[in-house]
Amino acid sequence: MQQRWGLPIVAWPARLRPGLWDVVALPLVIGAIVLIGWAMKEMSVPYQAGDELPISLDPWMLPEYGLRSVLRMGIALCFSLVFSLAYAALAAKSPRAEKLMVPVLDILQSVPILGFLSITVTGFIAIFPGSLLGYECAAIFAIFTSQAWNMTFSLYQSFRAVPVELREAARMYHLSAWETFWRLEVPYALPNLVWNMMMSVSGGWFFVVASEAITVAGQNTSLPGIGSYIALAIDQRDLAAVGWAIIAMGGFILIYDQLLFRPLLAWSQRFKVEAITSDESEDAWFLTMLRRAQVFRIVTFVTDIVVGRMSRLYQRLAPPRRVRAREVSHTYSRGIDIAWAAVLVLGAAWSLYEVIVFATTEVGWSEVLRVVLLGCATMVRVVVLVALASLVWVPIGVWIGLRPAVAHRAQPIVQFLAAFPANLFFPVVVFLIVQFHLNVEIWVSPLMILGTQWYILFNVVAGTLALPTDYILVASNLGVSRWLWWRRLILPAIFPAYVTGAVTASGGSWNAAIVAEVVKWGDTKLVATGIGAYIADNTQAGDFPRIALGITVLALFVLAFNGLVWRRLYNLAEERLRLD
Amino acid sequence: MIELPLVEAKQVSKTYQTPDHAGRLVLDSIDFSLREGEIVALLGKSGSGKSTFLRTIAGLTQPTGGSVVYRGRDVLGPAHGIAMVFQSFALFPWLTVLGNVELGLEAQGVPKQERRQRALKAIDLIGLDGFESAYPKELSGGMRQRVGFARALVVNPDVLLLDEPFSALDVLTAETLRGDLMDLWTERRVPTKGIILVSHNIEEAVEIADRIIVFASDPGRIRAIIPIKLPHPRDYASPAFRQIVDEVYGLLTTVPGREGGKRGQKAEPLGLGYRLPSASVQQLNGLLDTLMEPPFKGRADLPHLAEAVSLNDDDMLVLIEAVQIMGFANVGGGDIEATASGRKFANADMEERKQLFAKALLAQIPLAAHIRRVLDERPGHAAPETRFLRELEDYLSEEEAERVLESVINWGRYAEIFAYDYDRGVLSLENPGA
């Protein structure tokens, strides 16, 4: 008690003495710190709009550019983590906040990510005038928006799903709210969170590439990174440089995977509540190194002390648990509920009024109608593409899924393909369209699903793998074959998994529309009719009202599409076709 | 010398708020006290509020009326000195055995050295030494529950609350753990002064409790208090032990509204809002078969019959209630006897059984008769399930209404008195495919 504020008596435990793994680990740690320091300095160099940032097509510059891109990704990931923890905790704990926060999150999820970039970039530049940092922040923010919502939803759902008896045990043994959060809720949410982080980062590479070449009111700014490198290669019609960029990106994704996600995934296994220890075979050499090297034990040792102190501090500062007078608080809280609902309704009404005023004065109703029609054009593309991708990948996915040995080998490849930013391949496709004079309206479309089709394949494989062998044996025993086999056995069995994959694929396609409907190769610019092209063009021109209009309509399309199509299919899958 | 009770519940009531603000009473004016050196077992059908009552004593939930007093103070939240062991163990899977046991001490701010020492002692006491560094998922159910006990005992509680701690374990494991716990208790090797056990196993309760409190349902209230004066260790086979088991069985198997209904006496009819038990028709068939076969030949001691069909007491009670209300058997004094229609049913073939079941269902269960009548009267002979759900919600909670409707649909389908389309949620008279 008395020594609470004194220095901690640090007994140097025997397990913290240096070992063989440290020989490898120590230089790694120091190297990483130095690199991050250097890149941070580079990020905040003085910069005025219009200045030339020299980007070189020399392949040897790619490691440096790649590092800058990777770092942006890392920073965005940290922010996403902090944001999602705070947001999800609040939404899960306060029913009042929940009423607003969950729908808001749902809408944020439907807003196209590059739309965030178009809208926020001017603001960030104003915050850091005369420095590159404003542009860096805008790019990082765009990457952040591609990760945060997804992670927040996962955390929110996990927080709500913590088993009642575990919560009761935490209360029974007098864990404070702070301790319950860090020792029960966060650990419980970890396995899902790590998986979602990995998926988010996969999707994020696309936006890392897309957000580095920023145009504000006609002024091009290229942040050093792989995205800018490829933008320059497109500008100079350098197909070889595109190839180098693709190779370098592949390398960086592999490194990210090996150094960050393999270890994280393997480590998060122990937070799983189910008593299964199947995926223990995750090949995580880096985790082994971390576990063996004493350097990192010191890190955990110190964090333990810090977290311990924090929770003591919290216990001291937090007010003692109030004893509520139940009767009084009941009517009182109902009053607040009503007031809160009134505030929300009024806020919504006021916003709606503003939107109508904006639409009539700034852009005009005919423009709104035109944008809605453009949205329909893009929707047709998305629907056709998801259908085509399904026709291709469902049979292939089932074929792979029925052969566990093949599936085991294919899994990392598909995961890698899903992570690979498809926009790096755009120049190749555009080059082909130009060469063979193909129809732009049709042949630009595949770009939209290039990166996200893998989710369909991935989920179909997983769904087929999960199908109990008994079912397949019964089918063959009864002589069920061909079309009947698909209709009565496979399609219903993989449907829930397929829907999950198709939702992701269609969401990704909407997002990709902004970069896929306008593509360039040198001076040649190919434009397809659609809402994505509308947003891209107006971003180029710096026309803020039209950007806002385009993004709002696109978001509404995504919301409606999700609500009317995917959610229904999802419910159907949940209610009728679950295997248990 | 007057001994003050360890824990005292005075007129504890609990009402749950329903969406329509009507409120549903789950605990009705319960007076209870736990004296020093005593083990009290709470028994009752599922839904009788015994678990809610235990949580009220734990301070995990607040009564809407009355109060719980511990050491002279109202319990308004989890109190120091009261520890709980959970049915699902509720261990933190990411902490080792040692970490789980230390958790409560850590939250109390016990210094690390002392924490470790006390945790190791508790682990040793409950027979877990050697497993300190194991994670819960590496352990069997029995070992996990030992961790649950160690975690509770390490904080040196006055009062130990046990929420069906053995019911997730197999019979053999439960028996061993129960024996070990009783050894600790009778040899006074733990400072615990009183234990409250919620159980669904009647023999378990009779084996360890000094007093059994039988709860009645709707709303939960105390139906009977049975003191047990037998010395420890108790012999399952002794006549005194069997007699108490029979008595408790008798108390638990009387259908509400038919209390004291003697054989042959006309029973009071059930209402529309009667909580139809979720008994499986297959099990009901099996139970009557077993009852009619040797060695029972139509009449059985309930605990014996439960053993013969290897069902736990919870499932057994549900089934017994079902055969009683259907008029297939009568229950009294811990015995069950097949009625004439029960005997006829057991001797019938599959088709006949369905007909007999349908007849009994329409005659005995007002809800089934009501559904059939509505469907008969409607021009299309179909009605959405929501129609009946809403009616049931006048009597029952939303959840309970759904359970009851699901149960009556299952029985009705077996009896072929009506059909149900899951996809559309519609009850009808049509035969599928016909």
Q: What is the DSSP letter of B24?
A: E
Whether the pLDDT of residue A278 is over 70: the answer is no
B249: which residues sit within 8 A by CB, 6+ positions away? B202, B302, B303, B334
Q: Can you read off the two tokens belonging to residue B187?
A: 């040899």
- C-alpha A473/C-alpha A478 separation (Å) is 9
**Nearest residue to B194 via CA among B56, B33, B305:** B33
Instruction: Answer yes or no: is pLDDT of A324 > 50.
Output: no
Q: Which residues of B touch A184 (CB under 8 A)?
A: 92
What does each C-alpha distance from A303 to A89, A298, A299, A309, B357 come to in angstroms? 22, 9, 6, 10, 67
CA A220 – CA A531 distance, rounded (Å): 22
Q: What are A46's strand-pairing partners? A: A131
Strand partners, B9: B32, B68
Query: Are the beta carbons of A175 and B107 separated by less than 8 Å?
Result: yes
Alpha-carbon distance of B413 to B354, in angstroms, equals: 10
Cα atoms in the 13 Å half-sphere on the side-chain side of A59: 12
Tell me if A173 and B88 make a contact (CB, 8 A cut-off): no
Which one is the CATH code of A62-277: 3.40.47.10, 1.10.3720.10, 2.40.50.140, 3.40.50.300?
1.10.3720.10
pLDDT digits (tens, 9 = 90+) for B308-362: 888 888 888 889 989 999 999 988 777 899 999 999 999 999 999 999 999 999 9
Provide the shortest C-alpha distance from residue B91 to chain A (in Å).
7
Residue of chain A minimizing CA distance to B157: A173
Provide the number of CB pairs (under 8 Å) joining chain A to chain B.
70
As a three-state string, the secondary structure of A476-516 is HHCCCCHHHHHHHHHHHHHHHHHHHHHHHHHHHHHHHHHHH
- Is the CB of residue A451 less than 8 Å from the CB of residue A249? no
pLDDT of B381 over the 60 cut = yes
Buried b (16+ CB within 10 A) or exposed e, A36-61: eeebeeebeeebeeeeeeebebeeeb
pLDDT band, very low/low/confident/very high, at B261 (cuts 50, 70, 90): very low
Put simply, the answer to whether A273 touches B93 (Cβ < 8 Å) is: yes
Q: Which residues face B65 on adjacent strands?
A: B13
Residue B268 above 70 pLDDT? Answer: no
What is the DSSP-derived secondary structure letter of residue A287? H
Residues 6+ apart with CB under 8 A from A439: none
Question: Is the pLDDT at B262 greater than 70, yes or no?
Answer: no
Mean pLDDT of chain B, nearest integer = 88
> How far is it, in rounded angstroms, from Cα B9 to Cα B33?
6
> Which residues of chain B does A326 touch, with a Cβ-Cβ cutoff of 8 Å?
62, 64
Tokens representing B172 are 């053999």
- Residue pair A73/A208 in contact by the 8 Å Cβ criterion: yes
Q: Is A321 on the interface with B (CB under 8 A)?
A: yes
Average pLDDT over residues B234-250: 88
Nearest residue of chain A to residue B60 (CA atoms):
A168
User: What is the rounded CA–CA span in Å between residue A57 and residue A244?
Assistant: 9
Give the one of A168, A179, A312 whose C-beta lies nearest to B60's C-beta. A168
Q: B-chain residues within 8 Å CB-CB of A270? A: 93-94, 135
**How many whole angstroms separate alpha carbon A400 and alpha carbon A465?**
9
3-state secondary structure string, A201-260? Answer: HHHHHHHHHHHCEEEECCEEEECCCHHHHHHHHHHCCCHHHHHHHHHHHHHHHHHHHHHH
- What's the gap in Å between the CA of A474 and the closest CA on chain B? 24
Question: What does the pLDDT read at residue B370?
Answer: 93
Chain A from 189 to 218: CB within 8 A of any B CB: 190
AA letter at A409: R
A173 touching B (Cβ < 8 Å):
yes
% of chain A at pLDDT higher than 70: 83
Is the previous residue joined to B384 through a cis bond, with omega within 30 degrees of 0? Answer: no
Q: What is the mean pLDDT of residues B75-104?
A: 92
Q: C-alpha distances in angstroms, A315 versus A178, B154, B427?
A: 8, 22, 57
User: Is residue A7 pLDDT above 50, yes or no?
Assistant: no
Could you tell me if residue A129 is left (phi over 0), alpha (psi between -120 and 50 degrees) or otherwise beta? beta
A356-366: average pLDDT: 79
Single out the residue of B184, B178, B107 nearest to residue B145, CA to CA.
Answer: B178
Q: Residue range A59-78: average pLDDT?
A: 88
- Count Cβ neighbours within 10 Å for each residue of A328-349 and write b for 16 or more, e otherwise: eeeeeeeeeeeeeeeeeeeeee
Tokens 């007010």, located at residue:
A319
Of the pLDDT bands very low, low, confident and very high (cuts 50, 70, 90), residue A434 is confident
User: Which candidate from B64, B82, B94 shows the least CB-CB separation from A270?
Assistant: B94
Q: Judge contact between A447 and A426, C-beta under 8 A.
A: yes
Distance CA A118, CA A547 (A): 7
CATH number 1.10.10.10 is the correct assignment for the domain at B284-346: yes
Give the C-alpha distances (Å, rounded to integers) separating A177 from A174, A181, A312, A352, B164. Answer: 9, 6, 12, 39, 27
Would the CB atoms of B92 and A172 count as touching at under 8 Å? no
What are residue B34's DSSP bridge partners? B7
Average pLDDT estimate for A177-206: 87
Among A68-72, B232-236, B282-286, name the most confident range.
B282-286
CA gap B177, B146 in Å, rounded: 8
Q: Would you list the domain boundaries of chain A?
A: 62-277, 364-580
Angle at A264 between CA A260 and CA A267, to 5 degrees: 150
B126 min Cα distance to partner chain A (Å): 19
Joined together, the tokens standing for residue B260 give: 């004291």
B198: three-class secondary structure by DSSP = strand
Which of A15, A164, A167, A174 should we substitute to test contact with B (largest number of B Cβ atoms within 10 Å)? A174
Question: Residue A188 in contact with residue A274, Cβ under 8 Å?
Answer: no
Residue A22 has pLDDT above 70, yes or no: no
Residue B404 CA to residue B275 CA, distance in Å, equals 6
User: Is the link from the previous residue into B219 a cis peptide, with omega within 30 of 0?
Assistant: yes
Taking contacts as CB-CB distances below 8 angstroms, the residues of chain B near A183 are: 92, 103
Distance from CA of A294 to the nearest CA of B (A): 20
Whole-number pLDDT of residue A17: 54
DSSP E strands in B326-392: the ranges are: 329-332, 335-338, 382-384
Nearest Cα of chain A lies from the Cα of B159 at a distance, in angstroms, of 12
Select the CATH number that applies to the domain covering A364-580 from these four: 3.40.50.970, 3.40.50.300, 1.10.3720.10, 2.40.160.40. 1.10.3720.10
Closest CA in chain A for residue B89: A165
Q: Looking at the predicted structure, is the pLDDT value of residue A281 above 50? A: no
Lowest mean pLDDT among A159-163, A196-200, A531-535: A196-200
CA distance A408 to A413: 10
Reduced to 3 states (helix: H, G, I; strand: E, B; else coil), residue B386 is helix
pLDDT for A349 equals 84
Buried b or exposed e, range A202-226, using 16+ CB within 10 angstroms: bbbbbbbbbbbbbbbeeebbbbbbb
Indicate the range of A328-337, B66-75, B378-387 predicted with least confidence: A328-337
Report, as an integer, the average pLDDT of B147-153: 95
Q: Quick one: pLDDT band at residue B404, thresholds 50, 70, 90?
A: very high
Q: What is the pLDDT of residue A102?
A: 85
Strand partners, A131: A46
B236, B178 Cβ separation under 8 angstroms: no
Q: What's the rounded mean pLDDT across residues B196-208?
A: 92
Instruction: For A127-148, write each residue's pLDDT tens digit.
Output: 888 788 888 888 899 899 988 9
CA torsion angle A497 A277 A194 A461 (round to 10): -20
Question: CA A507 to CA A511: how far, in whole Å?
Answer: 6
pLDDT attached to residue A213:
79
Contact call for B107 and A173, based on CB within 8 A: yes
Task: Please report, for chain B, the start and end positions of each structural domain, with discontinuous segments joined by +.
Answer: 7-252, 284-346
Alpha-carbon span B62 to B12, nearest angstrom? 10
Mean pLDDT calculated for residue range B407-425? 90
**Per-residue model confidence as pLDDT tens digits over A491-528:** 888 888 898 888 888 888 888 888 888 888 888 888 88
Contacts of A578 in chain B (CB under 8 A): none
> Rounded to an integer, what distance in angstroms lies between the CA atom of residue A165 and that of residue B36?
27
Give the C-alpha separation, A33 to A71, whole Å: 12
B7-252 falls under which CATH superfamily? P-loop containing nucleotide triphosphate hydrolases (3.40.50.300)
Contact B83 A163 (CB under 8 A): no
A176 touching chain B per CB within 8 A: yes
* Residue from the list A163, A172, A576 with its beta carbon closest to the beta carbon of B83: A172
Q: State how far the Cα of B385 lies from the Cα of B366, in Å rounded to an integer.
A: 16
Tell me: the pLDDT tens digits for A90-99?
998 888 888 8
Q: What's the mean pLDDT when you consider all of chain A?
A: 81
Please enumerate in sequence order all residues whose Cβ is within 8 A of that of B330, keeping only pairs 6 or more positions apart, or say none.
B263, B324, B336, B337, B339
Residue B212, pLDDT above cutoff 70: yes
Comparison of pLDDT for B295 and A308, the residue scoring more = B295
Please give the residue that has the higher pLDDT: either A361 or B3: A361
- Chain B residues with CB-CB distance to A under 8 A? 55, 58, 60, 62, 64, 76-78, 80, 82-84, 86-88, 90-94, 103-104, 107-109, 135, 137, 151, 155, 423
CB contact under 8 A, B90 and A323: no
| A226 CB-near residues (< 8 Å, 6+ apart) | A62, A65, A66, A69, A208, A209, A212, A245, A248, A249, A252, A424
User: What confidence score (pLDDT) does residue A293 get?
Assistant: 59
Least CB–CB distance from B93: residue in A169, A173, A272: A272
Local structure of residue B8 (DSSP, 8 states): E
CA A74 to CA A68: how far, in whole Å? 10
Q: Predicted confidence band at A10 (pLDDT cuts at 50, 70, 90)?
A: very low
